[in-house]
Structure 1
Amino acid sequence: MTVQTERPPSGPADVRKTAGAGEPGGPTPRAASRAGAFAPYLLLLPACAATVLLLGWPLLKDVLLSFQNLNMAQLIQHVTEWNGVDNYKDVLTGEDFWRVTLRSILFTAANVVLIMILGALVGLLLARLGRRMRVTLLVGLVLAWAMPVVAATTVYQWLFAQRFGVVNWVLDKLGWHSMADYSWTSSQLSTFFVVTVLIVWQSIPFVAINLYAATTTIPDELYEAAALDGAGAWQSFTTVTLPFLRPFLYATTFLEIIWVFKAFVQVFTINGGGPDRLTEILPVYAYIEGVGNQHYGMGAAIAVLTILILLVISAYYLRIVLKQENEEEAGL
């Protein structure tokens, strides 16, 4: 015996359910996919607008200012005096700019090398420590990293003060009595030494925490396999740890180059670029020429050239990194 079932008649609700994308009342699949394709760009729009407003507009104003003869007289009279590329000619034909540029590159290279070596060692130490010691060291690193730059610079001024400075007092107690009243800001090398210690101290936490986080992504099975193959501590580091850390080292080095190259606050606050302007780097040089000597167009031109030099250095470094990565992929 067969039982026949009747299909209930479709009502208005079923009609609404069957109204799909192909009917005039509903969205077409092409329109839906198009809306989905534009969604990421709409989400990025506020960030792009803020970037253009906060970075693009000041940069454009600085470029326009670099083509003007703007001194205190023009500011008082509210006069815009265009002088073409005269500011750039004066800067590029002078010896001071190239001397400061070379000094800035050497200063950046020395600091970045020290930061990466010491930061990498601290990061590897964090990976080897026990939980309590690791947390204690991490707290100390975060506190040093979170200290404002001006506050840290003021502390270092106290530490290296000629009279009543902690560093001179310790050196005197250790037997170097000639250092009791030594002025750390009286010469170029000693001033750069203080600034370098300050910048390295501020930058080590960033590198160490990044590399420690990178070590946590390395599978333990790789170390076990290396140990079974008879690899020692150094061989395990070069064959397992270093390949995993290499991308993080590249990225961190790139960020440190940018950060150290524009280290205005530390250099200017310690000694104002002195003595005799021998410790000026490009950001300090632009500020002194622009604001200190009231040659605002000249200072703007130096700032634009500083940005271009930093872009060239960054592009050259990225080219080296990409070339090494391509060679490693080809070797695999």
Structure 2
Amino acid sequence: MSATLTEPDAAPRTPNTKPPRPPKGSAAGPRKKKPLPWAPWLLLGPSIALLGVMVVYPTIVMFVNSFTNLEIKNKMLGTAPDFVGFDNYIEVFTESDFPAVLARSLGLMVVLTVLITAIGMVVALLMTKLSKGWRLAVSIGLMLAWAMPPLSATVVFGWIFDTDYGLVNWALNTITGTQDFRGHSWLIDPWSFMMVLVIIVVWQSVPFAAVTFYAGLGQVPDEVLEASSLDGAGPWQRFRLIVLPYMRGVLTAVLVLETIWNLRIFTQVYALQQQGGLASETNILPTYLFRQGLGEFGVTAAIGVFMVILLMAISYFNVRSSLKDEAEL
């Protein structure tokens, strides 16, 4: 026989009765602190102020100047420029070689992005097949190439393709057994100039893509790859149907970043032009903007506004893809 012990003074409790709340000021439990709404803005304040001074203000000034005929004489005489509307934009696209420079820049961007992405993916796949020691050695080599300053890399490659004492001309003369490449200039011709430029940029940009892809390959489950192999899927089928879908986010980020970076390269092009290239036939958007900026600031500002719009359009697809991937998770 069992007995039930109850509190003598406690009122009977029904299933819907809520437990009594403890009185205010009692030590029933820790009081939750309300988040400070201004704390995130306080932490972001220095960065926002820096972006405002270094990015927002110059962009606004550039946008305003693009609708004026501001020139160097206005700076020297202290006179205000005149408002010319869209005349600078019309002049850029009709009365200058800007369309040719734009086409050259876009073509170079596409070639560089495709080569960097493809070679980076191949290197990342090969790194997964290496032993730990060799993988470490390859990673160190990639980091050394990536860490080299662009100007230093361009100077070194300029020596390699030197007209009289370059390694490339010596090797080609040795292989062919002739002296046909003695004194041959690789920078005087626009096509060979672009070939040298592509080699330099790809050599320095592949490490970032390879290391990023190698990290992304770690997201692919080994069980899925083993199951597909047992089902008879070949290497290309496993890569196309399993690896690429898992790496879609990483691949999109690398493609967009490389596209933006390849559209903004300046140091390598300018340094090669100083070593013997023809600036008028090898200019791309950044170098064209730099050389144009020495005189007519209004026209230069119009070119800069166009570049900003172009880069923002490319970045829009990156942000849109990232938000879409987050929504699907």
CA RMSD of aligned residues (A): 3.0
Task: Work out which structure has the larger RCO, using CA pairs closer than 8 Å and 6 or more positions apart in sequence.
Answer: 2
Any residues of structure 2 matched to 1:105-254 within 5 Å, and which? 105-175=106-176, 177-254=179-256
Q: Which moved more, 1:295-304 or 1:192-201?
A: 295-304
3-state secondary structure, aligned to 2:80? coil
TM-superposed CA distance for 1:250, in Å, is 0.9
In structure 1, distance between residues paired with 2:189 and 2:324: 40
TM-superposed CA distance for 1:317, in Å, is 7.3
TM-superposed CA distance for 1:318, in Å, is 6.9
Distance 1:34 1:314, change over 3 A: closer
How many residues in Structure 1 have an aligned counterpart in Structure 2? 303
Q: Write 1 or 2 for the structure with the bigger share of helix.
A: 1
Match of 1:275 in 2: 278
In structure 2, distance between residues paired with 1:275 and 1:182: 15
Question: Deviations for 1:71-94, whole angstroms, at most 9, x for unmatched residues?
Answer: 332222222213333322321322
Q: Is residue 145–residue 205 contact of structure 1 (8 Å, CA) maintained in 2?
A: yes
Match of 2:18 in 1: none
Q: Which moved more, 1:104-113 or 1:218-227?
A: 218-227
Q: Is residue 168–residue 182 contact of structure 1 (8 Å, CA) maintained in 2?
A: yes
In structure 1, distance between residues paired with 2:121 and 2:205: 11
Q: Which runs of 5+ in 1 are unaligned?
A: 1-14, 22-26
TM-superposed CA distance for 1:214, in Å, is 0.7
Question: Deviations for 1:204-251, whole angstroms, at most 9, x for unmatched residues?
Answer: 001000000111222222222223323332332223222212221111
In structure 2, distance between residues paired with 1:213 and 1:184: 37
In structure 2, distance between residues paired with 1:47 and 1:318: 20
Any residues of structure 2 matched to 1:289-304 within 5 Å, and which? 289-291=292-294, 294-304=295-305
TM-score w.r.t. the length of structure 2 is 0.82
In structure 2, distance between residues paired with 1:249 and 1:174: 39
In structure 2, distance between residues paired with 1:65 and 1:317: 29
Match of 1:18 in 2: 26
TM-superposed CA distance for 1:33, in Å, is 4.0
Question: Deviations for 1:267-323, whole angstroms, at most 9, x for unmatched residues?
Answer: 1111159526111111111111112xx22222222111122223334446777x589
Identity of aligned residues (%): 35
TM-score w.r.t. the length of structure 1 is 0.81
Q: Which moved more, 1:53-62 or 1:269-278?
A: 269-278
Question: Deviations for 1:86-143, whole angstroms, at most 9, x for unmatched residues?
Answer: 3223213225121211111111111111111111111111111111111111101101
